[in-house]
Amino acid sequence: MWLRKGLLVVSTTTLLSGYMVNASATSITFSGFADFTAGNVLGGSGPSNYQIPAFLPNGVNSPTSLYPSYKCPCFISNYEYGGIYQHTGWDLANESMVGIQANAQVNDQLSAVVQIDARGLDGYQPTVDWAYTSYNLTNTLTIQAGRKRLPLYMYSDYNYVGYAYPWVRPPVDLYGWEVYSYDGINVQYNNAIGDWALMTNTWAGNSVDPNAPGLTNVYNGFVTDTAWKDIIGTSIDLSNDYVHLRAVYMQNKVFQGTPNVAINNGQGIISNTIPQTAMFNDTPITNFTYPSSGNPNGVVNNNLVWGTLQQVWGAAFNIDYNNILWRSEYNFVRRPQMGYVAPSLLAGAGYKYGQVTAMYTYSQYWESDSWLHTFPQRDNTRAVTLRWDFRPSVCLKLQYDLFMDHSVGYTAPGQVAPSSDWFLGSSKLLTASLDMVF
């Protein structure tokens, strides 16, 4: 049954069971999910005491004291929140989390959703991941406004509801961007065409993060601000009892910078800080170039992207036929002003026998960049997953990941690029997860 739910669901609400409270004329439904996950890096290649190879132009040095060290081999489990498994034994906090969702139905037309999540990676500090209102204009047309997840992927809406998919986590080679939500508005259309269910969604808004954990913890090692502005996108989903087809397009402007990093506008260093107000209000910073040496703080501006166009295309094709599973998805990101392209994909086949599902999945991320550096991140992962649905709304998963790092020309801190042929190094990860909805 979880496969059918995973095939047709458009929000986490329909996946979760729920508890209802009547408050005057408004009915409030509570539902939730939990993932208790433990992972252990079994081995791999790369340095044993690894420092983040920050994005530096060729020939520029950087002091090693700026970058955190990781005990590697390592495995990146989550780019959105900067989750990294290290070679330190079993880690129970990296991916474990609990989420609670409240759905308030005011009347037949108006409703509101708030979802609060608590992640072990952040010490189980609560964060608001969803907060939006819905208004049904007709039986088939709905307008929503507030904070939602960016619907770039098949599993975007329930990326952390482990019960909703066959893996411990959706493959991070594809589900790997550091920006994951937006504040804005969307219009959703749902209808039936014979035996097929049709859903279209068009959205617009902005996403701002003054300290994006994926950029800070995974790539740069120091606080990195990012904003995706002027977002506009559309998706179409077509599904029946056996097949789910999806296509998506989105574009936006990318703003990314590092506070306390020098900016050179061709007339010398003009600032050692990128103010948050400048980023969020589109204050122009034009004609910037890399300084030839560090500023008085010893840091060069190695991470400034200001208003460049980004385009995203995506497609998915899933099958659930009797006991056979097929999962496939493709994503292509392009930043034409930078000469940057980043295709990613996943393909997986599985078989369900009684309460047990076995799955083999291949995923890949393979970028090119001809802008200011020539050290693209390139990797792939092979994963074998077993899922056991031993109780209603509860499942146990065991997954083995073989991550292969094929990146080239990355810069180790304090050295001149290229000094290595890896980004994080290859690794082997064993993960067990108890997933549930309630």
Please give the structure tokens belonging to residue 331: 């994503």
Q: Is 10 exposed, middle or buried (0-12, 13-18, 19+ CB in 10 A)?
A: middle
- Work out the pLDDT band at 120, boundaries 50, 70, 90: very high
Please give the structure tokens belonging to residue 8: 């047709």
Please give the radius of gyration of the chain, using alpha carbons only, rounded to the nearest integer.
Answer: 22
Look at residue 222 in the predicted model and tell me its pLDDT. Answer: 65
In a domain, 371, yes or no: yes
Task: State residue 258 phi and psi, 5-degree precision.
Answer: -115, 115
Number of compact structural domains in the chain: 1
Poorest-confidence range of 119-128, 152-161, 381-390, 412-421?
412-421
In a domain, 100, yes or no: no
Average pLDDT score over the chain:
81
Q: How far is C-alpha 325 from the chain's CA centre?
A: 23
In a domain, 87, yes or no: no
Full DSSP string of 336-394? GGGTEEEEEEEEEEEEEETTEEEEEEEEEEE-EE-SS-----EEEEEEEEEEEEEETTE
Taking only the tens place, the pLDDT of each residue in 61-93 is 343 434 457 888 899 999 988 899 999 999 999
In a domain, 115, yes or no: no
In a domain, 338, yes or no: yes
- Work out the pLDDT band at 336, boundaries 50, 70, 90: confident
Residue 129 has pLDDT above 50, yes or no: yes
Q: Is 268 exposed, middle or buried (0-12, 13-18, 19+ CB in 10 A)?
A: exposed
Which of 353, 362, 354, 355 shows the shortest CA–CA distance to 384? 362
Q: Are 167 and 359 in contact (CB under 8 A)?
A: yes
- Residue 405 half-sphere exposure toward CB, CA atoms < 13 A: 23
- Work out the pLDDT band at 23, boundaries 50, 70, 90: low
In a domain, 171, yes or no: yes
In a domain, 235, yes or no: yes
Residue 370: give its domain's CATH number. 2.40.160
> What's this model's pTM, rounded to 2 decimal places?
0.84
Kindly list the distances between the CA atom of residue 50 and the CA atoms of 12, 68, 218, 423, in Å, as whole numbers in the listed order.
37, 8, 11, 10
Which sign does the torsion angle of CA 86, 88, 94, 96 carry?
Answer: positive
- Work out the pLDDT band at 227, boundaries 50, 70, 90: confident
Residue percentage of the chain with pLDDT more than 90: 59
- Work out the pLDDT band at 388, boundaries 50, 70, 90: very high
In a domain, 65, yes or no: yes
Q: What is the span of the domain harbouring residue 408?
A: 44-73+136-258+302-437
Taking only the tens place, the pLDDT of each residue in 288-311 is 333 333 333 322 344 566 778 999
Q: How far apart are CA 97 and CA 432, in angstroms?
A: 14
